[in-house]
Structure 1
Amino acid sequence: MRLAATVVACALLTLALPVRSYGDTPAIDPAAAQRAIAERQRLCEADNGKLWGVSLCGPFLFVDPATRQVVGNYPNAALPAGVIPANTAFPLGDGYVTMVMWPITDDPIARNILLMHESWHRIQRQIGLPPAEGNNDHLDTFDGRYWMLLEWRALARAATLSGSARRAAVLDALGFAAQRHQLIRGSGIAEANLLRNEGLAEDTGVALSTAPRDRMVRVVEELARYRGAPSLVRSFAYGAGPAYGAFLDLYRPGWRRTLNGHSDLYALLAAALHTEPSAATATKSVAAYDDGSLRTAEQQRETRRVARLAALRATYIDGPVLRIPLRGANFGFNPNAVVPFPGFGNVYTPFNATGWFGHLDAPGGALVTSDYSTFIVPAPKDATTLSGSGWKLTPASTCTLEAAERAGDFTVHCPAT
């Protein structure tokens, strides 16, 4: 199916797949979905391409993860086989479709931010900003988190100030970031990559769903919201993106049209302020943002993290496991609950994957190796058992479990693959 790069009218709303029912109640409330789609259309039409030079209107669907039922704004909307339900954009024909999982929040502000965030992912390749990732495991360590949280305190303070006081707080934030990047080799590039992806998406959501007079209020709210996430490894971009976007709008209007696939928001903001962030200066500013309680709390968290890593090693490395090669499989996870496992990969909780082997649903989590070649869950009791601690496997036709090379381990074998 080819999707024209034009605005698709909400009148084309369709129910495409069989529905899960409780009595006569569909998995997705058609009326509620239609209202949300209409609101998304209103927001993107109000923007009319001004923010990015390209309209964010276009093919869109809600999907119920359990049933794969969809409600979309284009004819015969459906979720293609092999596409895992997620908040993302998936390719179809010569373009992309925005997908958002149902149910959605009742909070109209959070809902509109999400809808426009995901709509940006549909057009990001078109504007020369392809998806980018970075290994930000350092943001689960003491140095990574401490200097990030100081940076966020400075950004939040800047959002409440004006004039020279605001500028000074922004400079403090950039200094704290510089200190982190100096302490942790490669962290600046890794963070810039994810900020250019999820950070710009979240900034788009905030900018297009917030009145200009409330923009800085929303910046503070976003920082507070993601500060409490279980992990900053991915969620940092969601929290920081709107802040950097708002300050760049203030100090360097038109900055979005200068971006490319290598742009660094930290460097852009520093250049806009005609400054070179100094790690040495940053250390002198710490007392203005931390009375010592933040450092103590993060040191205590680091102690708990070390203990957690020992438990993860016992579960995914030393103990018996089921290892399944990814080999092009699609997988989904909660970006706010990624646990870095240095030297081995990341543990995603919950985790689900679909591919050559069938479908794995792992609400208890799974380890994905650093090279993204394999995912690992605790071993089942034997080769005939298709479930284990926190997971269940629905194998593809002809696929079975078989013993792996290490005693007690298993893998999936499919004669035709």
Structure 2
Amino acid sequence: MGRNIIICASWFGLISLTLCLINPAAAQVDQQRAEAYFKEAAAICERDSGRLWGVSLCGPMVFADARTRTLATNQPRPADNWPQVLGFTNAPLEWGGSRWVAYMWDFTTALPTPRARREFMLHELFHRIQPDLGLITLSGQNAHLDTVEARIWLQLEWRALARALDQSGEDRKRAVSDAFAFRSARRSQFANAAENERVEEIREGLAQYTGIVATADSRAEAVASTIGHLAAAEGHETFLQQAYVTGTAYGVLLDDASEDWRRSVHSNSDLGQMLMAALGIRPTADAVEASARYGGVEIRSAEQAREKQRKARMLELRNRFVDGPVLLVPSGGGATFNAVGATPIPGVGTVFVLPYRTKGEWGTLEATNGVLISDDGKRRLPGPIRIEGANISGDGWTVTVASGWTVRSGPRSGDYQIIRDP
């Protein structure tokens, strides 16, 4: 993912598993199995041979498990100390003067199919070379994608892109025109939406595109996989990670429309605009009318019902994580969590309700019943709070405070916070 904080279960459109509940004893890295995975990745990289991006996708890889302190590498292990985030992240990291790709072992082995695993490994290998390609972007703030209107138009865009992938000629052009009309309708309703969505499609969409296209044994397989991602995305509780499937779809369509598009894409490019230019088409004039071709009425009805449920859920979460007593845990460190069911609370942060695990210089945290990640990166855990020396616990969560840190009263009555010893 290119970041210390990663998302366990929504990295990949077809995954709806809880991947972080792994028995620690089973999480130990299996050297023989890891070697087989390294060979899979190497074979795909060698077959690509720089075809996609002009450089090899191959590079140093490490599977690690933080709890058992076991790892496997495809190159000699550096003499340097184990990086702090190793075992807590799927992302590139610097180790021993080289850029490695780190994979969490339990996440990798829990992927549902061999193809999913291969796409995942190549996705992360692209992130390793992404800086050299000049395709690094800052994170886009896309909370608007979980609003009713944005979700409606985004699903319409996905459906139009899936139809375009399944068609050719004028039928494909018509579907792409519809997709761009839906895209434009959505972005026109939210300030900075176009830029925030665009940067995520470059950063994560291109990585997912690479994973799918490099792994596929044929063009038809790449198209089928992309259509599968688009269909599965609609079932996600949150659409905050839309960049993966949307960026992938535009990339696969660009492969047919413009053979050299990968040589001209830049960090400031918009993949949708590139596809429109390559096909020589304009957006459909009436997006509302076009939506009827993709079940727009049904989508709107379903989203309005979901919104009523979401408001009730948000009130419950606000009572637990905002209004009631909380433990404030510092930002920083790597984390693993499952974004399925994540709920943004405007002006506060996002509540992740499925398993969350993190480690920082302040200590460790494991939560199975929700944690709120504030906009400033701090974590909030709901009370009542029990303190027993360095161990702090609550309903569904435990924290172990590291040496040099302590627990003190928080800014409000009933709150606590972890701070460095004075």
TM-score by length of 1: 0.88
Amino acid at match of 2:104: M
- Confirm or deny: 8 A CA contact 1:345 1:369 kept in the other structure: yes
Q: Distance in 2 between matches of 1:26 and 1:322?
A: 29
Could you report, residue by residue, the CA deviation over 1:38-71 in whole angstroms, capped at 9, with x for unpaired residues?
0100000111112111211010011234323111
Deviation of the 1:253 alpha carbon: 1.8
Alignment root-mean-square deviation, CA = 2.1
Amino acid at match of 1:44: C
Aligned counterpart for 1:87 among listed residues 73, 85, 90? 90
Matches within 5 A, 1:211-250: 211-234=218-241, 236-250=242-256
2:256 paired with 1:255: no
Amino acid at match of 2:88: P
Could you report, residue by residue, the CA deviation over 1:97-141 in whole angstroms, capped at 9, with x for unpaired residues?
112222423512111111100111111111111253111111111
More moved, 175-184 vs 361-370: 361-370
Aligned counterpart for 1:301 among listed residues 277, 299, 306? 306
Aligned length: 391
Could you report, residue by residue, the CA deviation over 1:134-172 in whole angstroms, capped at 9, with x for unpaired residues?
111111111111110011111111111111001101111
In the alignment, what sits opposite 1:199? Answer: 205
Deviation of the 1:298 alpha carbon: 1.1
Deviation of the 1:249 alpha carbon: 1.1
Aligned counterpart for 1:149 among listed residues 134, 155, 159? 155
- Confirm or deny: 8 A CA contact 2:87 2:102 kept in the other structure: no
Q: Distance in 2 between matches of 1:297 and 1:113?
A: 32
Higher relative contact order (CA 8 A, sep 6+): 2
Amino acid at match of 2:322: I
In the alignment, what sits opposite 1:330? Answer: 334
- Confirm or deny: 8 A CA contact 1:65 1:102 kept in the other structure: no
Unpaired stretches in structure 1, ≥5 consecutive residues: 1-19
Deviation of the 1:181 alpha carbon: 0.4
Q: Distance in 1 between matches of 2:180 and 2:341?
A: 26
Matches within 5 A, 1:45-64: 45-64=46-65
Amino acid at match of 1:415: D
CA separation of 1:330 and 1:30: change in aligned 2, threshold 3 A: closer
Q: Distance in 1 between matches of 2:66 and 2:137?
A: 23
Deviation of the 1:81 alpha carbon: 2.7
Aligned counterpart for 1:288 among listed residues 278, 287, 293? 293
CA separation of 1:338 and 1:21: change in aligned 2, threshold 3 A: closer
Q: Distance in 1 between matches of 2:24 and 2:292?
A: 57
Unpaired stretches in structure 2, ≥5 consecutive residues: 1-22
- Confirm or deny: 8 A CA contact 1:68 1:85 kept in the other structure: no
More moved, 110-119 vs 61-70: 61-70
Deviation of the 1:79 alpha carbon: 4.2
- Confirm or deny: 8 A CA contact 1:124 1:131 kept in the other structure: no
- Confirm or deny: 8 A CA contact 2:152 2:296 kept in the other structure: no
Amino acid at match of 1:61: V
In the alignment, what sits opposite 1:399? Answer: 405
Deviation of the 1:380 alpha carbon: 4.3
Aligned counterpart for 1:165 among listed residues 148, 171, 174? 171
- Confirm or deny: 8 A CA contact 2:177 2:283 kept in the other structure: yes
Q: Distance in 2 between matches of 1:189 and 1:212?
A: 30
More moved, 30-39 vs 380-389: 380-389
Aligned counterpart for 2:370 among listed residues 365, 369, 393? 365
Deviation of the 1:76 alpha carbon: 2.3
In the alignment, what sits opposite 1:100? Answer: 103
Identity of paired residues, percent? 37
